[in-house]
Amino acid sequence: MEQLLTVKKGNSRTTKIDVEGVYYRDLNAQLRELSSKGIQNVQLLNVYGQRYIGTNLSQPMEIEISGTPGNDLGFLMNGSKITVYGNAQDGCGNTMDDGNIVIHGHAGDILGMSARGGKIFVRDDVGYRAGIHMKEYQDKKPIIVIGGTTQDFVGEYMGGGILIILGLNLSEEKTYRAKFVGTGMHGGVIYLRGKVEQYQLGKEVGIAELEEKDYRVLHDNVNEFASYFNLEPNKILEHQFIKLFPRWLRPYGRLYTY
């Protein structure tokens, strides 16, 4: 595993690691060692399927990834920042507690599953069940912004947080294709730029027009999204958005025995 050290501005330094062919456990062991030594900036080159990058670090790091990381990128992450110059696979941000993940490409299924804090920004499309079981508690509120579109079951069983779908690759009059949007949703909110039909939504989901507080949420998060991908936020925000919200707090409460 080749390691090169370069000096950045100030007192911080960046560790560059070529991880081509490196077993994921060996890579993550080295990241934990670097974290324990106070290294704050790491660049990983030639990443190809290594899993759990960014997990169980003793202190937050900034990790730049060139290539395609494997499943569960940022699993249980607590304060680090990960930037991927490529695509990400399934489970990105799984049970994430805090931090920031920016993906300059596509992401796979179950993006942000059970996330309870932090932010995830994906430039392009994502797979199935994005935002499943997202939750929030007190000041913890996960946020996911997707630049493209999603597959079915986006926001499934969502219990909190903010999910923004921009559909930048859709034409003006085209409707999203995803079905079962928000099935089982009982908390949080989904903002959708563009059109969706009622039959595509879970029965637990209502549609509403945006209020002033919704526009503030969109403004802040779309501006941050655009800053990562060199886009013009005002052009994104000038289009119509709708808000999807849970109609009931406990949609399946009647099925419980207590």
User: Is 134 a member of any domain?
Assistant: yes
Mean pLDDT (the chain, rounded): 92
Question: 57 and 100: one domain?
Answer: no
148/177 Cα distance (integer angstroms)? 12
87, 144: one domain: yes
Q: What are the start-end ranges of the E strands in the chain?
A: 2-7, 13-18, 41-48, 62-68, 78-85, 98-103, 119-122, 143-146, 159-165, 187-193, 205-208, 241-246
Task: Give the model confidence (pLDDT) of 109-148 as tens digits.
Answer: 999 999 999 999 999 999 999 999 999 988 899 999 999 9
At 216, which helix (H) or strand (E)? helix 212-229
Sign of the dihedral through C-alpha 197, 202, 203, 207: negative
CATH number of the domain within which 128 lies: 2.160.20.60
Contact 106, 82 (CB under 8 A): no
Locate 205 and state its tokens. Answer: 């989901």
Task: Tell me whether residue 115 is in a domain.
Answer: yes
Same-domain status, 200 and 118? yes
- 76 within some domain: no
Q: What is the pLDDT of residue 124?
A: 98
In this structure, is residue 132 part of a structural domain? yes
Of 70, 96, 123, which closes a domain?
A: 70
For residues 126 and 21, membership in a common domain is answered with no
Question: Does some domain include residue 75?
Answer: no
Q: Do residues 42 and 117 both lie within one domain?
A: no
d(CA 107, CA 91): 9
Do 234 and 116 fall into the same domain?
A: yes
What does the block give as tokens for 134? 């997202």
Specify if 99 maps to a domain: yes
Task: Output 187 or 174, whichever has higher pLDDT.
Answer: 187
Residue 77 belongs to some domain of the structure: no
Q: Give yes or no: residues 55 and 95 share one domain.
A: no
pLDDT single digits (tens) 215-229:
999 999 999 999 999
Domain that includes residue 29, residue range: 1-70
- Interatomic CA distance for residues 62 and 102, integer angstroms: 11
Residues 192 and 116 in one domain: yes
Domain count, the chain: 2
- Radius of gyration of the CA atoms of the chain, in A: 19
Q: Measured between alpha carbons, how far is 70 from 160 in angstroms, rounded to an integer? A: 26
Residue 57 sits in the same domain as residue 91 = no
Please check whether residues 169 and 197 belong to one and the same domain: yes
- Whether the per-residue pLDDT at 46 is higher than 60: the answer is yes
Of 71, 75, 69, 21, nearest to 42 (Cα)?
Answer: 69
Q: Same domain, yes or no, for 39 and 90?
A: no
pLDDT, mean of residues 70-95: 98
> Which of 168, 123, 176, 116 lies closest to 141, judged by CA?
116
Tokens 């990058």 label which residue? 53
* pLDDT band with cut points at 50, 70 and 90 for residue 8: low
Whether the pTM exceeds 0.85: the reply is: yes
CA distance 203 to 187: 14
Domain termination residue (choose one: 70, 96, 129): 70
Give yes or no: residues 5 and 55 share one domain.
Answer: yes
In the structure, what pLDDT confidence band is assigned to residue 78 with cuts at 50, 70 and 90?
very high
Please identify, among 9, 35, 70, the residue that sits at the C-terminal boundary of a domain.
Answer: 70
